[in-house]
Amino acid sequence: MAKKAAMSDTETNALRALPSVAALLRDPDIQATTSLSPAGLTELLQRIVAEQRTALLAGQRATRAEIRERVLADVTRFERPRLGGVINATGVIIHTNLGRAPVSPETAGAMASAAASSVALEIDAETNQRGGRMQEVSDLMRLLAGAEATLVVNNNAAAVLLVLSALAAGRSVILSRGEAVEIGGGFRIPDVLRQSGATLVEVGTTNRTYAKDYEAAMDDQTAALMKVHPSNFQVTGFTYAASVEELAAIGAARGVPVIDDLGSGALVSTAPFGLRPEPTIADSVRSGAAIVTASGDKLLGGPQAGLILGRRDLVNRIAAHPLARAVRADKTCLAGTARTLRHYADGTAMARVPVWRMIAATSQEVQDRAERLCARLSHPSAVVPVSATVGGGALPGETLPSAALALDASQVDSGSTDALARRLRTGETPIFGRIEGHRVLLDLRTVLPEDDEALLTAVEVALRPTGSDRL
Ligand SMILES: *Cc1c(COP(=O)(O)O)cnc(C)c1O
């Protein structure tokens, strides 16, 4: 008993610094910080106080003032929207961890108004009869890529799974060894094939696969010949990959369709910008792919979506599969995808779609912006030449010449590059750059010019000596 009482004393001592939830609720600084209802704030404070209690009992020492500071910091952190906009100064245009393609203001507007109101999603306004929710995107894709029909789903991973489930379950799909790839985030083509209920028949070798390899593997179980864009890696040297045309010719003789997973799915060529030409969606359709799948938020530059397009009879079969309902696109995605496609239809894609604005900017333009910003920074910094990349699994190994603001961390506070990068990421306008040696590099190619002022302000705040930005 005596021992237990002694423990209790220690505990009581340790917990002396712990404020009560009731006291914190009355704290004017906390009241001024929070947007929560009294009930919500009580709930949050109970959780925070319990965490502080555990820390004190574990032997951490803290004064009452220090604990109050921590509570205030936690309440402040809770207020910060986690999905607010950030500035991508990484030099990777389609950055998956930063949400991939930002959309044009027109697309964002179309998505916001679709979200805020009812939408004639499945009613034809002319006839008041039930109409297809895919009609607008389908009409646009027909114009832009020559596809008979289009179905939009949640993302391209869902598109590939759905297509294989609807067209190949219980049968086999022939794929080159060199294209049995992992796209990222654990999305592996052989696993997806298995999940769909189809059997994978791998042909050829890692570096060379000919049309005759597919032909030799075909039998009455063959549901499709498949091509997958290798996306995030490159095989160079002694290589050969049968083209969509070649496969389409072989398939046609036996009535077997070609499925082409393009991944990035550009509608315009990357060639005029000094990049290797990516096959466009129209190229694939023209080459005879019966079904093409592509992401909406890579080189297309729209919201997250998966596009399934091609032969009408096959698209109808895919749309009728039970999984189609489970992965279907919502009204905001459809409105955003359609609005993005209109940029290509009316010729404004290069001027309005952010991904293409970033690709199309000349290196001189990027350099000039970097120098103008650098000259206005109160802190000594420099402009350095860097290489930006497209990202998003498009054009691995290809780079675009760019310019970066190089912020020298040794001139700031602790001199720690990590600390400076962290301050840039956690400011009011968060900026994500990259660290190179003792410098944080902010690549201007992936920053839209209209964000230059916000970037400058945020950099100034991050470079200020610690303490002066704490109030
Ligand atoms: C990116 C990619 C996918 C997956 O697309 P998400 O839109 O990320 O789901 C599938 N296949 C290829 C070839 C890709 O490049």
Other beta carbons within 10 angstroms of residue 453's beta carbon come to: 12
CB of 306 closer than 6 angstroms to any ligand 1 atom: yes
**With contact defined as beta carbons under 8 Å apart, do 279 and 81 qualify?**
no
Mutate to test the pocket of ligand 1, among 195, 231, 300 (most ligand atoms within 8 A of CB): 231
Residues ≥6 apart with Cβ < 8 Å to 356? 268, 301, 349, 350
CB 90 within 8 A of CB 388: no
Longest dimension (CA), the chain: 91
Mutate to test the pocket of ligand 1, among 155, 244, 278, 295 (most ligand atoms within 8 A of CB): 295
State in Å: Cα 469 to ligand 1 middle: 42
- Ligand 1 pocket mutation pick from 153, 183, 297 by most atoms within 8 angstroms of CB: 183
Q: What pLDDT score does 467 carry?
A: 53
Ligand 1 atom 2, closest CA: 263
User: Which pLDDT belongs to residue 469?
Assistant: 42
Burial 384-419 (b: 16+ CB within 10 A, else e): bebebbbbbbbbeebebebbbbbbbbeebeeeebee
Nearest CA to ligand 1 atom 11: 263
Distance 185 CA to ligand 1 centre (A): 10
Spatial distance between the Cα atoms of 44 and 34, rounded to a whole number of angstroms: 10
Q: Closest residue (by CA) to atom 13 of ligand 1?
A: 263
**Which of 94, 95, 156, when mutated, tests ligand 1's pocket best, judged by the most ligand atoms within 8 Å of its CB?**
156
Alpha helices in 91-203, H assignment, sequence order:
105-116, 135-145, 156-168, 189-196
- Alpha carbons 241 and 179: distance in angstroms, whole number: 9
Tens of pLDDT, residue by residue over 142-167, are 999 999 999 999 999 999 999 999 99
CA distance 136 to 10: 70
Residues ≥6 apart with Cβ < 8 Å to 335: 110, 111, 113, 114, 119
> How far, in Å, from the CA of 393 to the mean position of ligand 1?
8
C-alpha 157 to ligand 1 mean position (Å): 6
Distance CA 27, CA 289 (A): 66
Condensed to tens digits (0 to 9), the pLDDT of residues 132-144 reads: 788 999 999 999 9
| Residue ranges in the chain modelled with pLDDT below 50 | 1, 468-471
Do 275 and 231 contact (CB within 8 A), yes or no? no
pTM of structure: 0.91
Residue 296 beta carbon below 6 angstroms from any ligand 1 atom:
no
Inter-CA distances, 374 with 128, 320, 367, 404, Å: 58, 56, 10, 10
266-325: pLDDT as tens digits: 999 999 999 988 889 999 999 999 999 999 999 999 999 999 999 999 999 999 999 999
Residue 238: the pLDDT is 85
What is the length of the chain? Answer: 471
What is the Cα Rg of the chain in Å? 28
Spell 288-298 as b/e; 16+ CB within 10 A means b.
Answer: bbbbbbbbbbb
d(CA 455, CA 393): 27
- Cα–Cα distance between 410 and 408 in angstroms, integer? 6
Which residues are 431's β-sheet partners? Answer: 87
- Stated as kind and residue range, the H or E segment containing 386 is strand 381-391
What atom in ligand 1 is closest to the CA of residue 261?
Answer: 13
**Residue given tokens 């075909």 in the structure block:** 218
CB 431 within 8 A of CB 405: no
CB of 388 closer than 8 Å to CB of 93: yes
- Which string of b and e fits 232-249 if b means at least 16 CB within 10 Å? beeeeeeeebbebebbbe
pLDDT on residue 455: 98
